Amino acid sequence: MSVENQIRNYITRLPKGKIFFPEDFARFGSEEAVRQALHRMDKNEFLIRLAQGIYLYPKEDEVLGVLDPSLDEIARAIAKRDRARIIPTGIQALNTLGLSTQVPMKAVYLTDGAARDIQVGNSSIKFKRTTPKNLAVKGAISGLVIQALRALGKDHITQAQRKQIRELLQKEDLGKLLHDASLAPAWIRKIVLESKPQQA
């Protein structure tokens, strides 16, 4: 069976909307054979090439057509492949938390993996190397809130955003929140601790 057919058979058993990388298919043939097979599958639209070395098994909606993955989904797939930790910053963090409706054209992540820029259509993903301390957060919500507050700045947080942050942090595990607050600058720590959930 050709390398292309082996890859096709493997992919069709998996859910549509999944993101793949050439190394996912290393067991089916040489690097060059896999590269050529993926190129052909992109050409006949079995797969969609999102960026160099990143492919999508497309999922379609009857009305909307192909459902493109978000920049966050692509970034998380790359981080999983690289066994790297990432945390969204700036507009990406604000958007993820629902504190901004602005969809970033450039998603920026702190990482302990390789620093790089990846062009995805008209958008891009930037991975910035950072210190272990910035990635030491334990809470999914509190870690994002810290980055969102950094992006807003000390003197630019509206009352509505404070209320929303307070509601978000009520859902965070208290132990994780206290741990993450200890890593934040003093002004952010104050806001986070004011919003902490009450112990049962």
Instruction: Quick: pLDDT tens for 117-130.
Output: 999 989 999 999 99
> Which run of H or E residues covers position 126?
strand 123-129
93 vs 100: CA distance, rounded Å? 9
The mean of the pLDDT values for the chain is 92
pLDDT digits (tens, 9 = 90+) for 82-106: 999 999 998 889 988 988 888 788 9
Q: Is 106 helix (H, G, I), strand (E, B) or coil?
A: strand
In this prediction, residue 199 has a pLDDT band, given cuts at 50, 70 and 90, of low
67 pLDDT higher than 80: yes
Lowest mean pLDDT among 52-61, 99-108, 170-179: 99-108
Q: Which domains does the chain have, with CATH numbers?
A: 3-65 (1.10.10), 70-91+105-133 (no CATH), 137-200 (no CATH)
